[in-house]
């Protein structure tokens, strides 16, 4: 496979939910792709549609409009039956390691569940495969017969990752995989995800609100605001030189150990608007520190800049955060 082959490719994807007060466009004409072996991070406000996007990339929802391709095949309207191969190659790790594992199942049942859906294996073969998966995430195969409910959050997340790896997927969608864990356990899981990627050349789609982690793991970043992509680019680039003021604010809001970052913080005024009552013009304008009058009337389109960066703002690059980079090189 050529290195730049698009595995998952979404074109102008929209997802609309029916809510009592009308309809809510949680994902609004988003284009998104992930190449083999790369890690694309989706960052953005709470409620900006990250989870909805991640789930619709997995065809958990049928998109309202737009198209979804997997390995160049259009899977937008495929039935569950026809999706079988896709379901095998694209796996997910959820945020909450407590509710994502059935508490009544043993670890071996948990890990074997996806195997059962796709292969006819004897109980022994399944156990063996489950044991291998468990080893791959740094847990002892002795755990196989214990119930998932007996484990700590970090161990459960390892089990969830083992389950996702059991089918040897090409893409792993991880929705906030470490945000329920404490800092030290986070570091363990992040290192684990990284070493798995090095071994297996899996692509990751990483939903996270922790930009420190995103910087650490991702090759490319997609920034969402109110269901739309407002900025996209190579991770290094976006962090070092954010173009959209929201990205700048997001970066500057990272809790920092150093005084200077904290002092020069860009604090956003106001609150995120609801996707039901979307502001006119640029959706970000009510909170934007550099908004001009035209921002409330004209809508900035997502434009591709010469270096391949994409940004939806009339004044790209104007607002810059203070970030303290370190280098251990």
Partner 1 sequence: MSQDSKDLVTPITRRKMFKSKNKSLATLRISASILAALFIIAIFQPFFYTVDPAASDLTLRLQSPSLDGALLGTDALGQDVYSRVIAGFRWSLGIGTVGTLLGCLIGITLGVSAAWNRKRLRIVLSRVIDIGISFPYLIIAVTIVTVVGRGFWPLALTLGLVCWPTIARIVYAETLTLREREYVTAARLFGIGSIRSIFTHILPALRPTIQVVAAFTFAELLIAESGLSFLGLGAPLGTPTWGNMLNESRLYMESAPWMMFGPVTAIIVTIFTANLLGEGLNAREHSRSTRVSQ
Partner 2 sequence: MINTATNAIEIKNLVVSFPTPAGYSAVVRGINLTINPGDRVAIVGESGSGKTMMGLSMLGIQPTAAKVEGEILIGDVNMVTAADAVARKLRGNYISMVFQEPLTSLNPVRTISSQLSESVRRHNSISKKEAEARVLAVLTAVGIPAPKERMKSYPHQLSGGLRQRVMIALALINKPQLVVADEPTTALDATIQAQILDLLRSGMGDAALMLITHDLAVAADVCNRIVVMYAGNIVEQGPVAEILSNPKHPYTRGLLSAIPKFDQARPALNPIPGAPPTISEVVPGCRFASRCSYADAQCTASEPEFINNIACFHPVTGAVK
Give the nearer residue to partner 1 in terms of CB position, either 164 or 250. 164
Using rule CB under 6 A, residue 302 touches ligand SF4:
no
Under a CB-based contact definition with an 8 Å cutoff, are residues 220 and 234 in contact? yes
Using rule CB under 6 A, residue 150 touches ligand ATP:
no
Chosen residue from 131, 314, 321, 323 binding ligand SF4 by CB under 6 A: 314
**Distance separating alpha carbons of residues 138 and 188, to the nearest angstrom:** 10
Give the nearer residue to partner 1 in terms of CB position, either 167 or 223. 167
In sequence order, the β-bridge partners of residue 73 are: 70
Give the shortest CB-149-to-partner 1 separation in angstroms: 6
Chosen residue from 12, 23, 73, 104 binding partner 1 by CB under 8 A: 104
Using rule CB under 8 A, residue 150 touches partner 1:
no
Q: What are phi and psi of 27, to 5 degrees?
A: -125, 125
**Distance separating alpha carbons of residues 231 and 32, to the nearest angstrom:** 12
Give the shortest CB-120-to-partner 1 separation in angstroms: 14
Chosen residue from 13, 24, 58, 165 binding ligand ATP by CB under 6 A: 24
* DSSP line for 253-294: TS--SSHHHHHT--PPPS-PPPTTSPPSSSTTGGG-TT--GG
Chosen residue from 40, 164, 196, 213 binding partner 2 by CB under 8 A: 213
Q: Classify 202 as helix, strand or coil.
A: coil
Please choose which of partner 1, ligand ATP, Mg ion, none residue 177 contacts, taking the beta carbon within 5 to 8 angstroms, the exact cut-off set by kind: none
Return the residue matching tokens 């214990």.
Answer: 146
Closest by CA to 131, choosing from 117, 115, 144, is 144
**Distance separating alpha carbons of residues 304 and 77, to the nearest angstrom:** 29
Please choose which of partner 1, Mg ion, ligand SF4, none residue 83 contacts, taking the beta carbon within 5 to 8 angstroms, the exact cut-off set by kind: partner 1
Chosen residue from 51, 109, 157, 203 binding Mg ion by CB under 5 A: 51
Using rule CB under 6 A, residue 284 touches ligand SF4:
yes
Strand bridging mode 310-311 / 228-234: antiparallel
Using rule CB under 8 A, residue 270 touches partner 2:
yes
Supply the DSSP symbol for 141.
G
**Distance separating alpha carbons of residues 302 and 287, to the nearest angstrom:** 19
Chosen residue from 13, 181, 202, 223 binding partner 2 by CB under 8 A: 181
Please choose which of ligand ATP, partner 2, partner 1, none residue 257 contacts, taking the beta carbon within 5 to 8 angstroms, the exact cut-off set by kind: partner 2
- Residues of this chain that interact with Mg ion (CB under 5 A) are 51
- Residues of this chain that interact with ligand ATP (CB under 6 A) are 17, 19, 24, 26, 44, 46-52, 182, 275
């Amino acid at each position: 496979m050529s290195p730049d082959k698009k595995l998952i490719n979404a074109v102008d994807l929209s997802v609309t939910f029916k809510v009592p007060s009308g309809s809510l466009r949680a994902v609004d004409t988003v284009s998104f792709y992930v190449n083999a072996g790369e890690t694309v991070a989706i960052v953005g406000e709470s409620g900006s549609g990250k989870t909805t996007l991640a789930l619709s990339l997995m065809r958990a929802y049928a998109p309202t409009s737009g198209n979804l391709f997997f390995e160049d095949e259009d899977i937008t309207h495929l039935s569950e039956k026809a999706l079988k191969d896709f379901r095998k190659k694209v796996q997910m790790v959820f945020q909450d390691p407590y509710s994502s594992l059935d508490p009544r199942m043993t670890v071996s049942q948990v890990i074997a569940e996806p195997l059962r859906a796709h292969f006819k294996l004897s109980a022994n073969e399944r156990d063996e495969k489950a044991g291998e998966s468990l080893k791959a995430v740094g847990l002892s195969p002795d755990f196989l017969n214990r119930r998932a409910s007996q484990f700590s959050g970090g161990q459960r997340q390892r089990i969830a990752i083992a389950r996702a790896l059991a089918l040897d997927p090409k893409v792993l969608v991880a929705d906030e995989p470490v945000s329920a864990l404490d800092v030290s356990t986070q570091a363990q899981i992040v290192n684990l995800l990284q070493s798995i990627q090095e071994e297996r050349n899996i692509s990751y789609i990483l939903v996270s609100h922790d930009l420190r982690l995103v910087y650490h793991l991702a090759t490319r970043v997609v920034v969402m605001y109110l269901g739309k992509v407002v900025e996209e680019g190579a991770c290094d680039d976006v962090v070092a030189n954010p173009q959209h003021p929201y990205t700048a604010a997001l970066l500057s809001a990272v809790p920092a150990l150093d005084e200077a970052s904290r002092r020069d913080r860009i604090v956003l005024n106001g609150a995120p608007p609801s996707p039901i009552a979307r502001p006119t013009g640029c959706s970000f304008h009510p909170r934007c520190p550099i908004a001009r009058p035209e921002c409330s009337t004209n809508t900035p389109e997502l434009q591709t800049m010469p270096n391949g960066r994409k940004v939806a703002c009339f004044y790209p690059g104007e607002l810059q955060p203070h970030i303290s980079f370190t280098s251990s090189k």
